[in-house]
Amino acid sequence: MTRNKQLEDLHEVIRNCTLCPLHETRINAVPGEGPATSRVMFVGEAPGAREDESGRPFVGKSGELLTSMIQEIGLSRETVFITSILKSRPPKNRTPTQFEISACRPYLERQIEIINPKVVVLLGGVAISSLVGPWKLSEAHGRFYETDNRTYFMTYHPAAALRIPKVKKSMQEDFQILSQELV
């Protein structure tokens, strides 16, 4: 089976998933999007209102900023895979619970396995703590982390960068560090 087909089949399962209570309140599950051959994966926290309505990841203001930062380092949104730790929106964008993260994690693990990217970019504290452990974001950002034959890169969530100009600048600097690894 091709990687595209494996990813399509997985996303169909995610769209119908009822493993945690978030399926009761979501409009659409948001599996993620991008080529099955992407060299870079971006992992956020969870879908927001716009993502829940459309079924697509990072389509609101945070998504616009993420897209422009991706372009600033010479990539395009069409060539990377974008997803999040949770595939369904928590009500009022509350922080994901540990139960929800644990229930949803196998989907992300499978996406990483199928795509096999060179780097998995973790956007914000929830993505970082869910995949590589309890780092302080102020110490983690701009760093690579290797575990289980995977390379992760840790940075801020674009929603934080939208609110705080200093974080936006740090995130742009982090993306420059990331781009050097991708040469």
- Binding stretches for ligand SF4 (CB under 6 A): 14, 17, 19-20, 22-23, 29, 86-88, 100, 103-104
CB of 26 to ligand SF4, least distance (A): 7
- Look at residues 154, 115, 112, 149 and name the one whose alpha carbon lies nearest to residue 132: 154
Q: Tell me the DSSP string of 39-93.
A: SEEEEES---HHHHHHS-SS-SHHHHHHHHHHHHTT--GGGSEEEES-SSPPGGG
CB of 62 to ligand SF4, least distance (A): 18
CB-nearer residue toward ligand SF4: 91 or 133: 91
CB-nearer residue toward ligand SF4: 20 or 159: 20
CB of 180 to ligand SF4, least distance (A): 34
CB-nearer residue toward ligand SF4: 89 or 141: 89
